[in-house]
Amino acid sequence: MIGPLNHVGVAVPDIRKAIAFYRDVLGATDITEPQDLPPQGVTYAFVTLPSGQVELIEPYGENSPILKFLERNPKGGQHHVCFEVDDIHIAKTTMEARGMRVLNEPRIGAHGTLVVFLHPGDSGGVLIELMEAPDVEH
Ligand SMILES: CC[C@H](C(=O)O)C(=O)SCCNC(=O)CCNC(=O)[C@H](O)C(C)(C)COP(=O)(O)OP(=O)(O)OC[C@H]1O[C@@H](n2cnc3c(N)ncnc32)[C@H](O)[C@@H]1OP(=O)(O)O
Ligand SMILES: [Co+2]
């Protein structure tokens, strides 16, 4: 059921500084313009490296879910990993059946498909995002 790793999420205090680092120091390519995603409380941008994408996320708004993370990690840090699934609804019920706390109802994520998050307390301290793979026929 769990498909390929889609991206590694990195929380940052300043997304444009972070983009400059990934571009100028690491040579990232295909860098997207920062986009606000108010319902998810983040501003995000994707940078591409040979092994895949890094998603840079900066808090958006006072209720951003990453504000406390950045209070704990003021310079930013590795925040989550995101795996693709064919059907987010099946994935959600399967994860719940396997004892995972799913933190939200499926909602649109940065790639424009439905996503859910698993509570890191159930997944070895790693925040896991599941996203419905783009271009999957339903
Ligand atoms: C969706 C758009 C985009 C995309 O790709 O499409 C994104 O990925 S945006 C990513 C930002 N959105 C989210 O992270 C939504 C899901 N996250 C949450 O609901 C919260 O961040 C939550 C519940 C994971 C943590 O909330 P909060 O930090 O406010 O609660 P606590 O401080 O009480 O933390 C509880 C417990 O979890 C540990 N924790 C928190 N964040 C992380 C993390 N990123 N990785 C691992 N562990 C994390 C924290 O240390 C606490 O642990 P404890 O042992 O209980 O002290
Ligand atoms: Co993500």
- pTM, rounded to two decimals: 0.96
Distance CA(5)–CA(8), nearest Å, equals 8
Ligand closest to Cα of 70 equals 1
Q: Sign of dihedral through CA atoms 129, 130, 132, 134?
A: positive
CATH number of the domain at 14, please. Answer: 3.10.180.10
What is this model's ipTM? 0.97
Count of domains for the chain: 1
Q: Does 61 fall in a domain? A: yes
Range of the domain at 65: 5-132
Q: Does 137 fall in a domain? A: no
Residue 136, pLDDT score: 67
Nearest protein CA to atom 55 of ligand 1, as residue: 121
Catalytic: 71? no
How far does the centroid of ligand 2 lie from the alpha carbon of residue 103, in Å?
A: 14
How far does the centroid of ligand 2 lie from the alpha carbon of residue 109, in Å?
A: 7
Question: What does the pLDDT look like over 53-100, one tens digit per residue?
Answer: 999 999 999 999 999 999 999 999 999 999 999 999 999 999 999 999
Q: Does 138 fall in a domain? A: no
Residue 47 has pLDDT above 70, yes or no: yes
